[in-house]
Protein backbone atom coordinates (compact mmCIF):
# COMPACT_ATOMS: atom_id res chain seq x y z
CA UNK A 1 0.00 0.00 0.00
CA UNK A 2 1.14 3.53 -0.78
CA UNK A 3 0.39 4.70 2.78
CA UNK A 4 3.15 2.39 4.01
CA UNK A 5 5.69 4.68 2.35
CA UNK A 6 4.47 7.86 4.02
CA UNK A 7 7.30 9.78 5.68
CA UNK A 8 6.62 11.60 8.95
CA UNK A 9 8.79 14.34 10.44
CA UNK A 10 9.79 13.15 13.90
CA UNK A 11 13.16 14.55 14.97
CA UNK A 12 13.70 18.31 14.85
CA UNK A 13 17.01 19.96 13.94
CA UNK A 14 18.03 20.54 17.55
CA UNK A 15 17.60 16.88 18.44
CA UNK A 16 19.41 15.61 15.34
CA UNK A 17 22.37 17.99 15.43
CA UNK A 18 22.63 17.70 19.20
CA UNK A 19 22.57 13.90 19.05
CA UNK A 20 25.54 13.62 16.68
CA UNK A 21 27.60 16.44 18.16
CA UNK A 22 27.06 15.04 21.65
CA UNK A 23 28.24 11.63 20.49
CA UNK A 24 31.35 13.18 18.93
CA UNK A 25 32.08 15.35 21.98
CA UNK A 26 31.73 12.45 24.40
CA UNK A 27 34.08 10.26 22.35
CA UNK A 28 36.62 13.07 22.09
CA UNK A 29 36.44 13.67 25.85
CA UNK A 30 36.68 9.97 26.64
CA UNK A 31 39.69 9.22 24.46
CA UNK A 32 41.67 12.40 25.21
CA UNK A 33 41.48 12.17 29.00
CA UNK A 34 45.06 10.97 29.46
CA UNK A 35 47.13 12.83 26.88
CA UNK A 36 45.22 15.84 25.54
CA UNK A 37 43.87 17.75 28.51
CA UNK A 38 42.78 20.87 26.61
CA UNK A 39 40.73 18.84 24.12
CA UNK A 40 39.32 16.76 26.97
CA UNK A 41 38.17 19.83 28.90
CA UNK A 42 36.75 21.58 25.82
CA UNK A 43 34.76 18.49 24.83
CA UNK A 44 33.56 18.10 28.41
CA UNK A 45 32.24 21.65 28.45
CA UNK A 46 30.40 20.98 25.20
CA UNK A 47 28.81 17.87 26.69
CA UNK A 48 27.75 19.80 29.78
CA UNK A 49 26.26 22.64 27.73
CA UNK A 50 24.32 20.21 25.57
CA UNK A 51 22.93 18.30 28.55
CA UNK A 52 21.57 21.54 30.04
CA UNK A 53 20.12 22.59 26.68
CA UNK A 54 18.59 19.14 26.08
CA UNK A 55 16.87 19.16 29.47
CA UNK A 56 15.35 22.55 28.68
CA UNK A 57 14.34 21.32 25.21
CA UNK A 58 12.71 18.34 26.86
CA UNK A 59 10.09 20.73 28.23
CA UNK A 60 9.72 23.30 25.46
CA UNK A 61 10.81 21.45 22.32
CA UNK A 62 8.85 19.76 19.55
CA UNK A 63 6.45 16.91 20.32
CA UNK A 64 8.81 13.94 20.13
CA UNK A 65 11.63 15.79 21.88
CA UNK A 66 9.59 16.37 25.04
CA UNK A 67 9.99 14.18 28.09
CA UNK A 68 6.21 13.92 28.29
CA UNK A 69 6.25 11.97 25.02
CA UNK A 70 8.77 9.30 25.93
CA UNK A 71 9.34 9.10 29.70
CA UNK A 72 7.33 6.15 30.99
CA UNK A 73 7.04 4.23 34.24
CA UNK A 74 8.87 0.98 35.05
CA UNK A 75 5.85 -1.15 34.14
CA UNK A 76 5.76 0.17 30.58
CA UNK A 77 9.52 0.02 30.21
CA UNK A 78 9.80 -3.62 31.29
CA UNK A 79 6.65 -4.49 29.38
CA UNK A 80 8.22 -3.13 26.22
CA UNK A 81 11.47 -5.00 26.87
CA UNK A 82 9.48 -8.21 27.37
CA UNK A 83 7.70 -7.73 24.05
CA UNK A 84 11.05 -6.93 22.42
CA UNK A 85 12.54 -10.23 23.57
CA UNK A 86 9.47 -12.00 22.23
CA UNK A 87 10.06 -10.29 18.88
CA UNK A 88 6.71 -8.47 18.88
CA UNK A 89 7.26 -4.98 20.33
CA UNK A 90 4.86 -2.12 19.58
CA UNK A 91 6.21 0.45 17.14
CA UNK A 92 6.61 4.07 18.25
CA UNK A 93 7.27 7.02 15.98
CA UNK A 94 9.23 8.67 18.80
CA UNK A 95 11.29 6.96 21.48
CA UNK A 96 9.85 3.70 22.73
CA UNK A 97 9.59 3.30 26.56
CA UNK A 98 12.97 1.53 26.84
CA UNK A 99 14.60 4.10 24.57
CA UNK A 100 13.11 6.89 26.65
CA UNK A 101 14.50 5.35 29.83
CA UNK A 102 17.89 5.13 28.14
CA UNK A 103 17.79 8.81 27.18
CA UNK A 104 17.11 9.78 30.79
CA UNK A 105 19.87 7.47 32.08
CA UNK A 106 22.35 8.88 29.57
CA UNK A 107 21.52 12.48 30.49
CA UNK A 108 21.92 11.71 34.21
CA UNK A 109 25.25 9.90 33.72
CA UNK A 110 26.57 12.57 31.36
CA UNK A 111 25.66 15.25 33.88
CA UNK A 112 27.40 13.29 36.66
CA UNK A 113 30.47 12.85 34.47
CA UNK A 114 30.66 16.56 33.73
CA UNK A 115 30.10 17.64 37.34
CA UNK A 116 32.75 15.26 38.70
CA UNK A 117 35.06 16.55 35.98
CA UNK A 118 34.48 20.07 37.27
CA UNK A 119 35.33 18.82 40.77
CA UNK A 120 38.61 17.33 39.55
CA UNK A 121 39.43 20.52 37.64
CA UNK A 122 38.72 22.71 40.66
CA UNK A 123 40.58 20.54 43.15
CA UNK A 124 43.67 19.81 41.08
CA UNK A 125 44.05 22.96 38.98
CA UNK A 126 42.02 25.58 40.85
CA UNK A 127 40.08 26.23 37.62
CA UNK A 128 36.60 25.75 36.24
CA UNK A 129 33.10 26.69 37.44
CA UNK A 130 33.53 25.02 40.85
CA UNK A 131 36.91 26.56 41.66
CA UNK A 132 35.32 29.26 43.83
CA UNK A 133 33.90 26.55 46.13
CA UNK A 134 36.35 23.66 45.84
CA UNK A 135 39.53 25.34 44.65
CA UNK A 136 42.27 27.01 46.63
CA UNK A 137 41.41 30.70 46.48
CA UNK A 138 44.26 33.17 47.19
CA UNK A 139 43.89 35.83 49.87
CA UNK A 140 42.94 39.31 48.64
CA UNK A 141 45.92 41.42 47.57
CA UNK A 142 48.29 38.46 47.30
CA UNK A 143 50.57 38.46 44.25
CA UNK A 144 50.79 35.47 41.94
CA UNK A 145 54.33 34.46 43.01
CA UNK A 146 53.31 34.78 46.65
CA UNK A 147 50.26 32.66 46.03
CA UNK A 148 52.43 29.98 44.46
CA UNK A 149 54.82 30.06 47.41
CA UNK A 150 52.03 29.94 49.97
CA UNK A 151 50.33 27.17 48.05
CA UNK A 152 53.53 25.12 48.10
CA UNK A 153 53.91 25.62 51.85
CA UNK A 154 50.30 24.70 52.53
CA UNK A 155 50.71 21.58 50.45
CA UNK A 156 53.74 20.55 52.45
CA UNK A 157 51.95 21.27 55.73
CA UNK A 158 48.85 19.27 54.88
CA UNK A 159 50.81 16.45 53.38
CA UNK A 160 51.00 15.58 49.70
CA UNK A 161 49.87 12.04 50.33
CA UNK A 162 46.47 13.05 51.69
CA UNK A 163 45.87 15.58 48.91
CA UNK A 164 46.78 13.11 46.20
CA UNK A 165 44.50 10.55 47.79
CA UNK A 166 41.53 12.95 47.67
CA UNK A 167 42.36 13.94 44.10
CA UNK A 168 42.59 10.29 43.13
CA UNK A 169 39.16 9.62 44.65
CA UNK A 170 37.64 12.46 42.62
CA UNK A 171 39.29 11.20 39.45
CA UNK A 172 38.10 7.65 40.10
CA UNK A 173 34.53 8.87 40.53
CA UNK A 174 34.83 10.88 37.33
CA UNK A 175 36.19 7.84 35.51
CA UNK A 176 33.43 5.64 36.92
CA UNK A 177 30.67 7.83 35.49
CA UNK A 178 32.52 8.15 32.17
CA UNK A 179 32.79 4.35 31.89
CA UNK A 180 29.18 3.89 32.99
CA UNK A 181 28.11 6.33 30.27
CA UNK A 182 30.13 4.42 27.70
CA UNK A 183 28.42 1.19 28.78
CA UNK A 184 25.02 2.85 28.34
CA UNK A 185 26.07 4.02 24.88
CA UNK A 186 26.86 0.42 23.93
CA UNK A 187 23.44 -0.71 25.19
CA UNK A 188 21.84 2.18 23.31
CA UNK A 189 23.52 1.08 20.07
CA UNK A 190 22.35 -2.49 20.67
CA UNK A 191 18.79 -1.21 21.11
CA UNK A 192 19.01 0.84 17.92
CA UNK A 193 20.22 -2.18 15.96
CA UNK A 194 17.49 -4.40 17.43
CA UNK A 195 14.78 -1.84 16.70
CA UNK A 196 16.02 -1.32 13.15
CA UNK A 197 15.98 -5.04 12.42
CA UNK A 198 12.68 -5.88 14.10
CA UNK A 199 10.73 -2.96 12.64
CA UNK A 200 12.62 -2.96 9.34
CA UNK A 201 13.48 0.73 9.49
CA UNK A 202 16.81 2.56 9.46
CA UNK A 203 16.88 4.38 12.80
CA UNK A 204 20.34 5.97 12.34
CA UNK A 205 19.22 7.43 9.02
CA UNK A 206 16.07 8.77 10.69
CA UNK A 207 18.28 10.64 13.16
CA UNK A 208 19.99 12.25 10.15
CA UNK A 209 16.94 13.09 8.03
CA UNK A 210 14.51 13.59 10.92
CA UNK A 211 11.88 11.51 9.15
CA UNK A 212 10.52 8.01 9.71
CA UNK A 213 8.01 5.79 7.93
CA UNK A 214 4.59 6.07 9.52
CA UNK A 215 3.92 2.34 8.99
CA UNK A 216 7.21 0.42 8.58
CA UNK A 217 7.29 -3.36 8.41
CA UNK A 218 6.74 -4.42 12.01
CA UNK A 219 5.27 -7.18 14.16
CA UNK A 220 3.62 -5.03 16.82
CA UNK A 221 0.93 -2.36 17.05
CA UNK A 222 1.60 1.25 16.15
CA UNK A 223 1.95 3.92 18.85
CA UNK A 224 2.22 7.68 18.48
CA UNK A 225 1.02 7.99 14.89
CA UNK A 226 0.57 11.74 14.74
CA UNK A 227 3.27 13.61 12.84
CA UNK A 228 5.06 16.76 14.01
CA UNK A 229 3.92 20.04 12.54
Say yes or no: domain 2-134+160-216 is CATH 3.90.1150.10: no
H/E run at residue 181: helix 160-199
| CA 80/CA 199 separation, integer angstroms | 14
| CA 2/CA 158 separation, integer angstroms | 75
Enumerate the domain spans of the chain.
2-134+160-216
pLDDT over 60 at 161, yes or no: no
Considering only residues 162 and 29, tell me which one the structure prediction assigns the higher pLDDT. 29
pLDDT over 80 at 165, yes or no: no
Among candidate residues 55, 143, 29, 157, the one with its CA nearest the CA of residue 107: 55
pLDDT band, residue 86 (cuts 50/70/90): confident
Using the 8-state DSSP alphabet, how is residue 200 labeled?
T
Q: Residue 229: its pLDDT value, please? A: 35
Please, are residues 142 and 150 in contact by the beta-carbon 8 Å criterion? yes
Interval 166-181: pLDDT, tens? 567 888 899 999 999 9
Amino acid sequence: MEDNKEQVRVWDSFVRIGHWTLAAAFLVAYFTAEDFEDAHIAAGYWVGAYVVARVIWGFIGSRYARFSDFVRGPVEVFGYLSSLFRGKPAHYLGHNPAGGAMIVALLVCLAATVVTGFVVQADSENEGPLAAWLGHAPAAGTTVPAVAAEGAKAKDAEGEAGEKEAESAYEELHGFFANLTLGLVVLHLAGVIAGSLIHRENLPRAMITGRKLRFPGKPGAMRGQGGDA
